[in-house]
Amino acid sequence: MVFYRVEDIKAFSQVLRVPLVCQDAAILVAQWDAAIRTLGREPADDPEAALNTILATDAIRKPQRFVELLQAYALLLAVRSLEVERITSQMQLWQRLFEAVMAVDAGVIAKSCGADTGKIKEAVYAARLDALKNALIN
């Protein structure tokens, strides 16, 4: 199995004079690949790690980039000769988890925390984790 190192991507990008946006995309795919390998076989095995994997991609602020990441990762899996059904199933699962996390209304949660701003981050994270767990069940 081939592992993609960020240092190698940066070095090749310099040599090939790849646009920064392409380099960033390649690095994101490599980091996602490493995170998925670390996570294990199924997100249901560790929902919190699955949430952290999604959040590490900055998916909340850049949702379109996350969608493109999934598409690029699907291509990488296809190159690795994984069967189409498995790739499709995995991409649909991650898309469903992403949508569940994105559906959490952080503004409403922030308002419910009142003046205690220290609780907002924890409450939003807990709500996103609950949403992800519910998406895994359904």
DSSP letter string, 76-114: HHHHTT--HHHHHHHHHHHHHHHHHHHTS-HHHHHHHTT
Q: Rg for the chain (alpha carbons), in Å?
A: 17
What integer pLDDT is reported at residue 1 of this predicted model?
Answer: 45
Taking 70 as the pLDDT cut, the residues of the chain under it are: 1-3, 40-41
- The pTM for the full model equals 0.81
- DSSP 3-state of 129: helix
What integer pLDDT is reported at residue 45 of this predicted model?
Answer: 82
A 10 A CB-CB count for 130 gives 14
